[in-house]
Structure 1
Amino acid sequence: MSVAVRVIPCLDVDAGRVVKGVNFENLRDAGDPVELARRYDAAGADEVTFLDVSASTQDRATTKEIVSRTAEEVFVPLTVGGGVRSAEDVDALLRAGADKVGVNTAAIARPELIGEIAYRFGSQVLVLSVDARRTREGVQTPSGFEVTTHGGRRGTGLDALEWVRRAEELGVGEVLLNSIDADGTTAGFDLEMIARVRAQVRVPLIASGGAGTPEHFAEAARAGADALLAASVFHFGTLGVGQVKDALRAAGFPVR
């Protein structure tokens, strides 16, 4: 592997504050998004991801004012997602300071949105955020992994592997794979899900959900992730960005 593995803190924002829970539920306050972004930038994060976790559920756009203030404080790439429904929404976020924009719920409802955004702005700005879980009783998908929407609150019956493959064909430049089952558990990334999605797409793959130890990051990189995203272990001081990069380096992965 010659390309450096990226370490990305994630700011899940609700009502202007960073929040974090377990399995996308029981959210608790983790701080001010601008202050946290500034801290991670100084700590050596390769990127920062900002997800407005209630935008789709509340049927509103991402809070651009917070995005703008965050962008003024960080010098690493900033990815923003949540409530993006149109190419115009992407334009507004890019103008507010985002470098890349994530889509999820709206793209599932209307897959043509992916092509519209990629055509207008280029695939390099478009990240497909996939909130996936193992199928539950009464739900069948070919791979055993189902895509959800609205912050993991609604099942779709859509097969996660088929969806990422189709989205790549439509023009996404990167896939952010969120494991709802592993989210916030600190028990490790869903390595099977990472490996199986990796086998479906050629675009960069960001793994999210379950990080608890430095070794977990190396395991996810070994499973095929190009970038590793985490929230609670960084927000609550369990791990530092430098500590994670040291572990990746010791495991033989290049880091910046």
Structure 2
Amino acid sequence: MLQVRIIPCLQLIGESLVKTVNFKNQRYIGDPINTVRIFNEMEVDELCFLDIRASKEGRKPPFHILKQIANEAFMPMAYGGGVKTFEEAKEVLSIGFEKVIINTAAYNNTSLITQICDHFGSQAVVISIDVRKSLLGHYQIYTNSGSQKNSMHLTEYLKEIEKAGAGEILITSIDREGTWSGYDIKLIKTITSNVTIPVIANGGAGSLKDIGQAVNEGGASAVALGSMVVYQKKDMGVLINFFEKEQINSAFNSK
């Protein structure tokens, strides 16, 4: 298994696999169950599923689809989207997912992080943070599928979630998401320099070089990929794919 994790981060809206750009203009990709089967054959180390509209639409996680996904998958998985309570987190984990990802509910109630961590351990809890740059270049936290701007300073929130017991952070640049323009390395550095827990970089990957930079320059412990693993190339058709491990290792070793 790779020391640095490369995680396909797949977007759901209910039962459909989709892909967005800047959290908007979703495009249908396909069936999540068939996609999991393909990633099984490619021996991907880990998968992440996010129902990107669940919180905004007030929906619970799509448990019936998650059960089907868990029954097919051979690798560890994380799920986020619409998880608002301890009971919902417990159900996600009982289905067979190793980690639960929380975004909006964690921002609104950090005690939920502690409650889940106390029961399942910190390793089971990933806090997702969606960030957009302001006109003045400041990083601002957004919740509810990127629709709600929040006032808490990013570094203050990082301290709160780490104190609450979070085991990992998934940081997504809304400005870069789906653009193939590379990760926001400054944002990743801001996160990694303010916490001691692992950080997953997400939003903007367009090449192996971008992946290497997120790790070597940004200090990320893992990287999440969206467009790169569901499209042939930028502006081309759908193709579920992944890299040979030798390719990925060469990206990390190049400075």
Q: Please, what TM-score do these two structures have when normalized by structure 1?
A: 0.91
> SS state of the match for residue 66, structure 1?
helix
Q: Does 1:106 align with 2:105?
A: yes
**Native 8 Å contact 2:230 2:241 kept in 1:** no
CA distance in 2, matches of 1:169, 1:246: 37
- Distance change in 2, residues 1:131/1:252 (3 Å): closer
From 211, 224, 233, give the equivalent of 1:229: 224
**Native 8 Å contact 1:177 1:207 kept in 2:** yes
> SS state of the match for residue 19, structure 2?
strand
Q: Does 1:212 align with 2:211?
A: no
Deviation at 1:111, TM superposition (A): 1.3
From 194, 197, 202, give the equivalent of 2:196: 202
Cα deviations by residue, 1:102-122 (Å, 9 ceiling, x for unpaired)? 011011111111111111111
Deviation at 1:60, TM superposition (A): 1.5
CA distance in 2, matches of 1:96, 1:177: 25
Name the % identity: 35
CA distance in 1, matches of 2:184, 2:247: 19
Deviation at 1:252, TM superposition (A): 4.4
User: What is the correspondence of 1:33-72 to structure 2 with a 5 Å cutoff?
Assistant: 33-72=32-71
- Other-structure match for 2:93: 94
**Native 8 Å contact 1:215 1:247 kept in 2:** no
CA distance in 1, matches of 2:156, 2:45: 29
CA distance in 1, matches of 2:47, 2:143: 22
Letter in 1 for 2:74: F
Q: Which moved more, 1:101-110 or 1:40-49?
A: 40-49
- Other-structure match for 2:147: 153
Q: Which moved more, 1:158-167 or 1:179-188?
A: 158-167
Deviation at 1:162, TM superposition (A): 2.0
Cα deviations by residue, 1:181-201 (Å, 9 ceiling, x for unpaired)? 100000000000001100011
Cα deviations by residue, 1:136-158 (Å, 9 ceiling, x for unpaired)? 46xxxxx9211101111111122
CA distance in 2, matches of 1:214, 1:68: 32
Q: Please, what TM-score do these two structures have when normalized by structure 2?
A: 0.91
CA distance in 2, matches of 1:65, 1:160: 35
- Other-structure match for 2:164: 170
Q: Does 1:249 align with 2:252?
A: no
> SS state of the match for residue 45, structure 1?
coil
Letter in 2 for 1:212: G
Cα deviations by residue, 1:216-235 (Å, 9 ceiling, x for unpaired)? 11111111111110111111
> SS state of the match for residue 241, structure 1?
coil
CA distance in 1, matches of 2:209, 2:246: 10
Cα deviations by residue, 1:28-65 (Å, 9 ceiling, x for unpaired)? 10111111122123213221001111110111211011
The alignment covers a number of residue pairs equal to 246
- Distance change in 2, residues 1:252/1:107 (3 Å): closer
Structure 2 alignment gaps of length 5 or more: 234-239
> SS state of the match for residue 128, structure 2?
strand
> SS state of the match for residue 206, structure 1?
strand
Structure 1 alignment gaps of length 5 or more: 138-142
- Other-structure match for 2:177: 183
**Native 8 Å contact 2:208 2:251 kept in 1:** no
- Higher RCO (CA-CA < 8 Å; seq separation 6+): 1
> SS state of the match for residue 28, structure 1?
strand
The alignment yields a C-alpha RMSD, in angstroms, of: 1.8
- Other-structure match for 1:140: none
**Native 8 Å contact 1:53 1:82 kept in 2:** yes
Letter in 2 for 1:117: I
CA distance in 1, matches of 2:114, 2:15: 30
CA distance in 2, matches of 1:173, 1:252: 24
> SS state of the match for residue 152, structure 2?
strand
